[in-house]
Amino acid sequence: MPYDVEKPDEQWRTELTPGEYVVLRQAGTEPAFTGEYTDTKTQGVYSCRACGAELFTSETKFESHCGWPSFFDPRDTDAVELIEDRTHGMVRTEVRCARCGSHLGHVFAGEGYPTPTDQRYCINSIALRLTPAEG
């Protein structure tokens, strides 16, 4: 699928830190409980660290105690792309930025969290950038 933001791999490597590159462009995962947004309660908008697209808001962030930031819904349904992921002997749903195709994490459903959507978007902190709300 073509994305609005497409760059050669060499450009992604120079624009992203090595850790960002592994997660965003190679579908890696940061270690649990190490990301800067895992426990943050700051109000604001979470954007894709690779392209700046607005993905999630603090209003949909919740504490799942899974080790990564969790959201129950994207800011806009068109902001993310969901793709079946059969790696590591599992069937999961990968979450990518719909604007640049960067890997963000995975979404899970039916886990019993008390959220309006019964979904948990388990997103790598290193894939996001938080812009605090004004005021």
Active site positions, annotated: 122
Instruction: Classify strands 44-48 and 119-123 as parallel, antiparallel or unpaired.
Output: unpaired
- φ and ψ at 41, to 5 degrees? -115, 10
Rounded distance between C-alpha atoms, residue 73 and residue 19, angstroms: 25
**45 DSSP β-pair partners:** 57, 131
